[in-house]
Amino acid sequence: MEFLSSLVTSPYWTKLFLSGILFVYGIQTRRKLHQPEIIPLIVLAVLLILRDLAWLLTGLPQILLPTDLMILTAYTFWMRNSTNQERAIRGSLILQAIILALIGVHLIPGLTIPALRFLLRPLILVGISYLILQMYFVSPFNTTHYRMVVLLRSPIAIVLVLYNLTVWLFGESSAFIHYIVIPLSYLLHIRVIHAYTDLSHSERGTKIDSLSKDIEALFNFMRTLGSAITEHIEIDNVLNYISGAVLENTKADGGAILLVDEFDDNLRVKAVSGIFPPPYPIPSKVKEKYDNMRQYFVTTPIPVGETIFGEVVKSGQPVFIQNATKDERFQYNEREDLQFISSLIVIPLIVSNRILGILSIVKRTPGSYFSGEDFNNIRSFADYTSLSLDNLFTYIELLEKKEMEREVGIAADIQQKLLPAKLPALTKTDISAYSIPAKGVSGDYYDIIELKGNRLALVMCDVAGKGVPASLVMIMIRSILHLIASAHKDAATIVSWINRGITGQIDIDHYATLSFLTYNPASKTIEYSNAGHHPLMIYRRSSDSIESLDTDGLPLGIERSSRYQAKKAKLNTGDVICLYTDGIIEAMNAEGEQYGYERIARYIRENADKESRELTAGIRADVADFVGKAKQHDDQSFLIMKIL
């Protein structure tokens, strides 16, 4: 009875209660935020519960050493997920591994080393101090969640240092430890997660605002490009607009566009905005005045393969130099020099594996650098710029030759370039697709996008209307999709943002239906959202049956405030999923009969053992046989993924 009474009155119940609150709060936060950075904090709460239970049941103070070390490790992994300081975090983990080995030696039965026990707690304090020091070395340029780390580093320092220091000085059994320090540390941990939640919502709002600005910048460019085509604006004016728009979008000090001259294999400057010093050595006399330096830059061609610009054209790979003062290629870089560059981004302009030129931006203020977000945004902008320039070149050629009858062919070329040139080869999956336009110009669009974490996004879209207007709507949808597609966003959010991006920017007659799904090969799960398109078809190998997966939602471009839903489904080996446009199921033969959903389903069931390439070829042939000599009245697109 005395033992039970002591348990009831023990301070451990208070600690268990607080650690339980911490755990539940952490789980709820994880469900709301869907961010991996919170997972180590949840693991921390579990460790606190296990420590208190073990101490409550055994009464052994030795329990504290390994669990306190694991708590330090949990915070270390939180830092690793929130920063780019892999080398520093690796050093902290090595130190913790050494401490763990010493704890293991200390806990060996019969082996007593008093000095070792005395040193273990100071060693843990050293590890804590090292981790906290790394927190104070973070900056916006080496940390993914800079504001998060800055906000939480002081509470974390207080929690870890206060607890471990008092345990070291007063011992594990001190009433001060049990009744004040540990409960206070739990409350501070709860405060940490609460602050994390508030700041995460704030950062999410900031990201949404930033994304909205990026989308707005893209549409401003689209409108100007449309005016350029309509008003016959010269290409130089369009290039100058692009260069200026890039500066405005990235807050850069200077921007330049250089295009490849195919006749002499040189890069030539076509547009310069702001102050853009050449990012390569130039004659010392030239850079005494900025006007002379600009004139030299504009008039001097750059051979492909030479200087950092020529290397980007030759390799086709972008270059991001965040801090040019630490890059060997900028040994000439001096702060007092007019040619000084602090940060540089160079992006190749590529269309269908053909390099048109480069887009580059610079920052010149010492200590001012581009961020990773700037780099990602400018890559998306360059991707759209490449397509737009290629289309504009083609269209100008059309105007010059006065061959307006080629509009259909040009629009078909635009649409074809929107389709992926090569399907990604993901392990445990087999993907195939095809698209057949009805009249040379297709209103259909499909895409397969590789996301971080070895995930895939599959898209099937059908734009109302035909010709150049439909192709331009496709470019809008593709540009927004490639800008916002992420493994951390759910499918409904992606579809909602695409809808918000194009609604009001296009004629309502050119709305689009869209199916969007993400696939996680690790868990073999899909997340699907639909905007007025045909449901997703799923063939289940285990039951040899066909299922449909669908969600409610209006087509894109009709109502800005439309809400979209997402559903998840588990796939298994041998299962097949199919996305298609209405040109397949509504294909008609000479008697007016439609091919229909059931024929697709029956063909998939009867041929499910075949490879995806054979399945798409078989569907294509089966539709052609059914239609016979009847005229194709709509575009036909089909995408299939088989789970291996």
DSSP state string for 542-571 = TTTEEEEE----PPBTS-TT-----EEEE-
Q: What gap in Å lies between CA 470 and CA 473, rounded to an integer?
A: 5
Q: What tokens appear for 350 in the block?
A: 């590529």
Top pLDDT among 399 and 342 is at 342
Q: What tokens appear for 170 in the block?
A: 């007063």
Q: What is the mean pLDDT of residues 295-307?
A: 90
Each residue of 125-160: pLDDT tens digit? 888 888 778 777 777 666 666 766 776 777 777 777
Does residue 615 carry a pLDDT above 90? Answer: yes
Burial of 529 (0-12, 13-18, 19+ CB in 10 A): buried
- Please state the pTM of the whole predicted model: 0.51
Q: Would you tell me how many other CB atoms lie within 10 Å of the CB of residue 137?
A: 11
CB 524 within 8 A of CB 641: no
Q: How far from chain centre, in Å, is Cα 63?
A: 42
Q: What gap in Å lies between CA 26 and CA 42, rounded to an integer?
A: 5
Do β-strands 444-451 and 525-531 pair in parallel, antiparallel, or remain unpaired? Answer: unpaired
Q: Would you tell me how many other CB atoms lie within 10 Å of the CB of residue 150?
A: 16
Q: What gap in Å lies between CA 181 and CA 18, rounded to an integer?
A: 13
DSSP structural state of residue 336:
T
Does residue 438 carry a pLDDT above 70? Answer: yes
CB 516 within 8 A of CB 550: no
Helix-strand-coil split of the chain, %, nearest 5: 55, 20, 30
**Residues contacting residue 69 through CB under 8 Å, at least 6 positions apart:** 96, 99, 100, 103, 124, 127
Q: What gap in Å lies between CA 617 and CA 630, rounded to an integer?
A: 20
- Count H helices and E strands in the chain, helices first: 19, 16
Under the banding of pLDDT at 50, 70 and 90, the label for residue 437 is: confident
Q: What is the mean pLDDT of residues 263-288?
A: 86
Does residue 26 carry a pLDDT above 70? Answer: no
Region of 83 please: left (phi>0), alpha (psi -120 to 50) or beta: beta
What does the mean pLDDT of the chain come to? Answer: 79
Q: What gap in Å lies between CA 590 and CA 465, rounded to an integer?
A: 24
Q: What tokens appear for 564 in the block?
A: 């979209």
Residue whose token pair is 């336009």: 437
* Phi, then psi, of 526 in degrees rounded to 5: -120, 150
Q: What pLDDT was estimated at residue 251? A: 82
Q: What gap in Å lies between CA 554 and CA 561, rounded to an integer?
A: 10
For every residue of 318-330, DSSP letters joined together read -EEES-GGG-GGG
> Which CA distances in Å does 17 have to 155, 163, 183?
21, 18, 10
Q: Would you tell me how many other CB atoms lie within 10 Å of the CB of residue 210?
A: 12
Q: What is the mean pLDDT of residues 315-339?
A: 83
Strand partners, 546: 539
Under the banding of pLDDT at 50, 70 and 90, the label for residue 540 is: very high
Burial of 583 (0-12, 13-18, 19+ CB in 10 A): buried
Under the banding of pLDDT at 50, 70 and 90, the label for residue 517 is: very high
Helix (H) or strand (E) holding 166: helix 146-170
Under the banding of pLDDT at 50, 70 and 90, the label for residue 27 is: low
Q: What pLDDT was estimated at residue 505? A: 76
Q: What tokens appear for 148 in the block?
A: 């998060």
Top pLDDT among 531 and 17 is at 531
* Phi, then psi, of 251 in degrees rounded to 5: 60, 35
Q: What pLDDT was estimated at residue 66? A: 78
Burial of 598 (0-12, 13-18, 19+ CB in 10 A): exposed
Q: What tokens appear for 413 in the block?
A: 């070329």
Under the banding of pLDDT at 50, 70 and 90, the label for residue 414 is: low
Considering only CA atoms, which of 364, 284, 383, 268 is closest in space to residue 325?
Answer: 364
Top pLDDT among 294 and 209 is at 294
Under the banding of pLDDT at 50, 70 and 90, the label for residue 217 is: low
Amino acid letter, 142: N
The end-to-end CA distance of the chain, in Å, is 62
The count of C-alpha atoms lying within 13 angstroms of the C-alpha of 112, restricted to the half-sphere facing its C-beta, is 2
Considering only CA atoms, which of 71, 74, 76 is closest in space to residue 89?
Answer: 76
Q: What gap in Å lies between CA 275 and CA 307, rounded to an integer?
A: 19
> Which CA distances in Å does 194 have to 29, 114, 338, 553?
8, 41, 48, 34
Q: What gap in Å lies between CA 313 and CA 304, rounded to an integer?
A: 6
Q: What gap in Å lies between CA 423 and CA 448, rounded to an integer?
A: 7
The region of weakest confidence among 326-335, 350-359, 577-586 is: 326-335
Q: What tokens appear for 414 in the block?
A: 């635009």
Helix (H) or strand (E) holding 344: strand 343-351
CB 326 within 8 A of CB 333: no
Q: What pLDDT was estimated at residue 486? A: 75
Each residue of 154-198: pLDDT tens digit? 777 777 787 777 777 777 666 777 677 777 777 766 666 676 677
Q: What pLDDT was estimated at residue 412? A: 61
Q: What gap in Å lies between CA 343 and CA 378, rounded to an integer?
A: 14
